[in-house]
Structure 1
Amino acid sequence: MSLRSNVLWNLAGAGLPLLVGAALIPYLVRNIGVEAFGILTLIWALIGYFSLFDLGVGRALTQQVAQQRVAGRSNEVPALVKSGLLFAGVMGVLGGVVLALAVEPLAARGLKVSPALHADVVQALRIAAAAVPLATVTVGLRGVLEAYEDFRAVNLLRLVLGIATFGLPALSVMLFGPSLTWIVAALMGARLVFVVAHWLPVRRHLGRGLGGVRAGRRELRQLLSFGAWMTVSNVISPLMVTADRFVISGVLGAAVVAYYTVPSEVLLRVLILPGALTGALFPRLASLMATDMAAATRVYRRSLLLSAVVLLPISGVLTFGAHWGLSLWLGEAFADRAAPVTSLLALGLLFNGVAFVPFAAVQAAGLARVTAQLHVAEAFVYFPLLIVGLHAFGLAGAAFAWTARVGIDLVLLLVVAHRSVFRRPPGAGLRHNLPTSEPERP
């Protein structure tokens, strides 16, 4: 399947649920209240964040299965996949236990939940903890499908799961009332169904089940040689994307979180555009860098230009039209609080979206250590800036801190991609990830 077709499938898989969310979010806000909806967005973020307990195995499976295929070593793929999925499952259980143990202090002190919601939030968080291993295994299975560039299957599943993310809470409210416990229970049931739904196309690509395949230390080391550094990025980078809302809850209270999370969630959904491109770009670059660096460079430059051209006008419209759009959608009172935040975050949206391309290129070259080091350095700047901004300027200060951080991230990634990826000979950044000989060249 062509890169263009893969991008279109990625857009459909991420974009259509966004339309459903736009239709259902006002219903949820009206029926469960601003504070409860803010907590629901935090639970969405927690499930996504704790799925990173796969320790980068999902992304490593994409990179290394793609390389094994282009090198003609498809017979080694089943053992690689089984090792990765078992590890992702075990780490997911560990992540779920960690979240379960943190439920009481998180609800009581970390989120500053009002007394009326406390019991409901505690139950909802406990159910969310049980969904963590389902999320980590799904990430691994999706990584395999992306390595085979089966973006049709990936995005059909993502489409249904994305619709369920908004649709099931609305259905739960209709049937059981404004209970976060029932909402999260419905979401967990969907996660269980989607593990099975991801496994079926993976099994088809492998041509067999994994019952007779032995998971080995060599395969796990092969994955973790890439995934260990990926984990650092996967932990710190999403933390810098989602930590602001938890810090806001801790500093200003859960009652104001929705004025930040609603525009933040909407703007982050716009990142489906560069995400659709780089989701397809990553396995393609991983293959091209092992065989044709000139072609990889051309694809990279075209992708960088396309991301900038698409996101610049969108960012401008969101910056200057924030109050008008929010007033139409959620009312003028909500817009008065959220519009300044939206305008600041819209500029960060441009920086963050363009950065997807050099980030994909650096990691496709096997340089996960570099992106991890960059994210660690950025965290030392971002979190103090976030706290100072919140105390000095409230929600607008948090938005400025995030925008400044993603701007710095873009500049650093562009420099690394230029100097360390596209000046290398073909395959130079990939050799350490493969225990066997360098892939054959056509």
Structure 2
Amino acid sequence: MLNKSQKKLTDGRLLVRNVGFNFLSKIFPLLAGVISIPLLISNIGTEKFGVLAILWLLIGYFGILDFGFSKSIVYELGKDLRAGIGDISETTGTITTVLILSGSFFGTLIILVSPYLVKDVFQLGTSMQNEVLYSFIILGIGTPVTMITSALRGILETFQEFKKISVIDTLGGGFNYLGLAAISFFSTNMIVLIIALIIIKLLIGATFYFYCKKLVSGSIFTFKMNTEKLKSAFDFGKWIAVSNVINPIMGQIDRYIIGAVLTMSAITFYTAPFDMIQKINLIPISITAVLFPAFTLAGNSVKKSSLIFSNSILATIILVFPLAGILIFFAEEILFIWLGQEFVDESTLVLQILIVGAFVNCIAKIPFTFIQGLGQPNVTAKLHLGEFVGYVPILWFLINTYGILGAAFARAIRVFVDWFALTFIANKKIHGKSFILETLALTGALIAIYFASTFSIGLVMKVISTVMLMGVYFSLVWNQYLDQDTKALFLNKLSKILKR
């Protein structure tokens, strides 16, 4: 039986609204990056931008260095709320203390190795070395801020405060790019730029803290560690950390093997379409960020978990399939407009194979999040370790045999196995519908769309046939898969939009 907090924080309409907020929060930073990066490169030069890109990458990878504790706080707070515990300061105090200590450790490590990186690893001119060295030192000092910000975000996610998170992410993400681009017109000094970046992170953290104080009874930073909470958080977080390490390696190793076996040009022809299809992941990422705390809260209610699970998979399928189908059907035209005829010749089929894989991978993120939300990240981590062991030799063989097409096929095989295994595991723990047959049928439909794209038909006919097929698809979805409540909610929202 769900308590009052669980019912409120796992309400279907709240989750749908928060998915929308989460998705929208990623659009503005994405556009800001498209606008700002060329300006930054033009103003500070390619060499300094390369250093800035590494600093951005380091900040992004701090999530790997937190031993999974930023995710643990969501899980542990979910357990507190399920148990009806009002004062959650012991949980927040324990985990934030660990993150402050780990952030200080890794920050100190960055400061200590930065002279070696600047002088011996990076190929930098003498005039730039001091500037870059101090930039790394400032980044090291700011590392604990980034770690704590992740924990504060986790508190807000637990309470489904995604509207607040979205506003902060939109502004913070936008300023990350636009702010630095604006500053670069007045100063190209790396030290100034990295200080601005840390100040933005500090402001984001302070805003998160302000909102968290309204939700948490007691102090967030108690600097007292509850050993029982610490052990539970570590047991959960260590497997999250394993996944955080393995997943990026599996996501990037194909490009390293292509570079080792083939040529640097081959990497370019593979990476360009690969980076394009990553944008599809914005949809499931927006959904799963909301689902993790929801699954954690609803963990003791099979009925509620099943409903959230099934609806999330259905929503992912409905939203991702049309996008995937359009990208496959118009792959040649998209590559020609974006990158030119050479990429059409070399990368079209690669892009189409990767999109089929991306469709299945988007759906796989739901059972992945569900299993972790139930408190079993060891299952997903062990699965991905097993996948990695099998994936590398298959990847190596297919690249040697078929080039970058082989890399695309290997990735598609891996994500299909991943989806099937995760769905099988989730089905043993839940009674919801997994839409396995629908996923297989739509994967077949994407393959059929690929064959249709090989026929010589004009662009106008392609557009007309796409509109007609999308009409049939959404009519089928409306009549066969949406319940009356969902239809009523959609029509109500549409009516309000049209009246404006």
Structure 2 residue identity aligned to 1:422: I
Asked whether the equivalents of residues 41 and 261 of structure 1 are also in contact (C-alpha less than 8 Å), the reply is no
Please state how far the C-alpha of 1:241 moved relative to its aligned partner. Answer: 2.9
> Which structure has more RCO (C-alpha within 8 Å, separation ≥ 6)?
1
Q: Deviations over 1:182-226 (max 9, x none)?
A: 554433332222222221111111144346673321221121121
Q: Does 1:74 align with 2:82?
A: no
Asked whether the equivalents of residues 47 and 129 of structure 1 are also in contact (C-alpha less than 8 Å), the reply is no
CA RMSD of aligned residues (A): 3.9
Please state how far the C-alpha of 1:304 moved relative to its aligned partner. Answer: 0.8
Structure 1 residue identity aligned to 2:278: L
For 2:323, the equivalent position in structure 1 comes to: 314
For 1:350, the equivalent position in structure 2 comes to: 359
For 2:430, the equivalent position in structure 1 comes to: 422
For 1:279, the equivalent position in structure 2 comes to: 289
How far apart in 1 are the matches of 2:217 and 2:302? Answer: 31
How far apart in 2 are the matches of 1:389 and 1:128? Answer: 41
For 2:305, the equivalent position in structure 1 comes to: 296
What percentage of residue pairs aligned between the two structures are identical?
Answer: 27
For 1:433, the equivalent position in structure 2 comes to: none
Asked whether the equivalents of residues 26 and 329 of structure 1 are also in contact (C-alpha less than 8 Å), the reply is no
How far apart in 2 are the matches of 1:258 and 1:185? Answer: 33
Change (3 A) 1:317 1:253: same
Change (3 A) 1:346 1:300: same
| 1:221-370 alignment, distance < 5 Å | 221-242=231-252, 264-290=274-300, 292-322=301-331, 324-325=333-334, 328-329=337-338, 342-370=351-379
Change (3 A) 1:363 1:100: same
How far apart in 2 are the matches of 1:44 and 1:244? Answer: 22
Structure 1 residue identity aligned to 2:73: L
Asked whether the equivalents of residues 90 and 222 of structure 2 are also in contact (C-alpha less than 8 Å), the reply is no
Structure 1 residue identity aligned to 2:415: V
For 1:92, the equivalent position in structure 2 comes to: 103
State the TM-score, normalizing by the size of structure 2.
Answer: 0.71
How far apart in 2 are the matches of 1:60 and 1:335? Answer: 45
Please state how far the C-alpha of 1:363 moved relative to its aligned partner. Answer: 0.9
Please state how far the C-alpha of 1:142 moved relative to its aligned partner. Answer: 1.0
Please state how far the C-alpha of 1:296 moved relative to its aligned partner. Answer: 1.4
How far apart in 2 are the matches of 1:194 and 1:375? Answer: 33
Please state how far the C-alpha of 1:274 moved relative to its aligned partner. Answer: 1.1
Change (3 A) 1:385 1:297: same
Please state how far the C-alpha of 1:136 moved relative to its aligned partner. Answer: 2.1
Please state how far the C-alpha of 1:94 moved relative to its aligned partner. Answer: 2.8
Change (3 A) 1:106 1:267: farther
For 2:419, the equivalent position in structure 1 comes to: 410
Q: Does 1:18 align with 2:27?
A: no
Asked whether the equivalents of residues 61 and 143 of structure 1 are also in contact (C-alpha less than 8 Å), the reply is yes
How far apart in 2 are the matches of 1:130 and 1:359? Answer: 34
Q: Deviations over 1:244-281 (max 9, x none)?
A: 56777888899997776665455334322112212222
Asked whether the equivalents of residues 362 and 368 of structure 1 are also in contact (C-alpha less than 8 Å), the reply is yes
Change (3 A) 1:282 1:182: same
How far apart in 2 are the matches of 1:332 and 1:122? Answer: 42
Structure 2 segments unaligned to the other structure (5+ residues): 1-8, 433-500
Change (3 A) 1:30 1:212: closer
Residue in structure 2 matching 1:55, options 67, 74, 77: 67
Q: Does 1:176 align with 2:187?
A: yes
Structure 1 residue identity aligned to 2:196: A
Change (3 A) 1:183 1:313: farther
How far apart in 1 are the matches of 2:193 and 2:259? Answer: 21
For 1:376, the equivalent position in structure 2 comes to: 385
- Please give the secondary structure, in 2, of the residue aligned with 1:176: coil
Asked whether the equivalents of residues 277 and 358 of structure 2 are also in contact (C-alpha less than 8 Å), the reply is yes
For 1:166, the equivalent position in structure 2 comes to: 177
How far apart in 2 are the matches of 1:234 and 1:357? Answer: 17
Structure 2 residue identity aligned to 1:280: V
For 2:493, the equivalent position in structure 1 comes to: none
Please state how far the C-alpha of 1:300 moved relative to its aligned partner. Answer: 0.7
For 1:440, the equivalent position in structure 2 comes to: none
How far apart in 2 are the matches of 1:181 and 1:384? Answer: 44
Change (3 A) 1:248 1:137: farther
How far apart in 1 are the matches of 2:341 and 2:39? Answer: 16
Change (3 A) 1:43 1:242: farther
Please state how far the C-alpha of 1:376 moved relative to its aligned partner. Answer: 1.2
Please state how far the C-alpha of 1:151 moved relative to its aligned partner. Answer: 1.0
Larger of the two Rg values belongs to structure:
2
Greater Cα offset, 352-361 or 97-106: 97-106
For 1:432, the equivalent position in structure 2 comes to: none
Please state how far the C-alpha of 1:131 moved relative to its aligned partner. Answer: 4.4
How far apart in 1 are the matches of 2:78 and 2:345? Answer: 48
Please state how far the C-alpha of 1:354 moved relative to its aligned partner. Answer: 1.1
Greater Cα offset, 266-275 or 314-323: 314-323
How far apart in 2 are the matches of 1:234 and 1:418? Answer: 24
Please state how far the C-alpha of 1:373 moved relative to its aligned partner. Answer: 0.3
Asked whether the equivalents of residues 123 and 181 of structure 1 are also in contact (C-alpha less than 8 Å), the reply is yes
Structure 2 residue identity aligned to 1:148: F
Change (3 A) 1:257 1:185: farther
